[in-house]
A and B are shown apart, each in its own frame.
Chain A
Amino acid sequence: MSKKLLIVDDSKMSRIFIGQHVKAAHPDWVIQEAGTGEEAIALIENELPDFCTMDINMPGMLGTEAAKLILAAHPDIRLVIFSANVQESYQNEARELGTILVPKPVTQASVGLALDYFLGV
């Protein structure tokens, strides 16, 4: 069955690369994009994704704050923090949210980690 993935990242290039790697593995998945945490929260109100990748450093609210709000309202979404900001504090925050922090750069391997988490591999 086709799944929906929301990619939240202020870098258009990161959104494109994540989308390309995901499409290569799952061509039938529907990809949505948001450039900020606020935009992601608004999008999710209208259309619930199955999965979400979330950057941390973006204009406006931090991605970890957006993730907290999204997961509190929609605990069934499988979400990973996907960021270059790999400080232990943020890794701990990800764990407290019940998710993982996947380190950038965006590569086949790093996107693979996110996909494994989404699919419970």
Chain B
Amino acid sequence: MRVTLLAGAVALACSGALAEEAIIMGNVESKCVINTDTTGVYGNPVAGKLSTDTADGGVEPIIRYDVALGGSYTARIVAPNSFSSSPVLTDTVFWEGSSAVKEVSDTAMADYEDNAVTYDYTTEYDLHTAGTTWFSVDSLAEYGYGKAYPAGEYRAIVTAECIAN
């Protein structure tokens, strides 16, 4: 009886030792992350002009898209066409704006700019390759016909969208 119990205990201990396995599981799924690397700033080179162009003293916003699986998402970037907040303006504002590919993490993304679809203030990019793409947005707002902007703070919004295909 004692021998049988001892043999059983040894067998159990051995089977326990054999069952020591560490399993690491992972799952790669399509994912899009929108990062705001640089917030834009309007420069005011002349009284009636606000511009994000570096030559005008502005800073272009830089938006980074990280995509885990290629072909899963479309990037859509809309440049501003109105102020979200500003002093009271009595004349019209002439808007210009567009986005451009600034940098890519993979050479296969070289055609993103050529294949971009642009309409109004919107540009769409087919994110066909996994990796990271940096986009810059330029925005220009000119007030009336040679008029000076009233003093105050001006804000406009760039919309960066990532839409699943």
Physical interaction between A and B: no
B-binding residues in A (CB < 8 A): none
A-binding residues in B (CB < 8 A): none
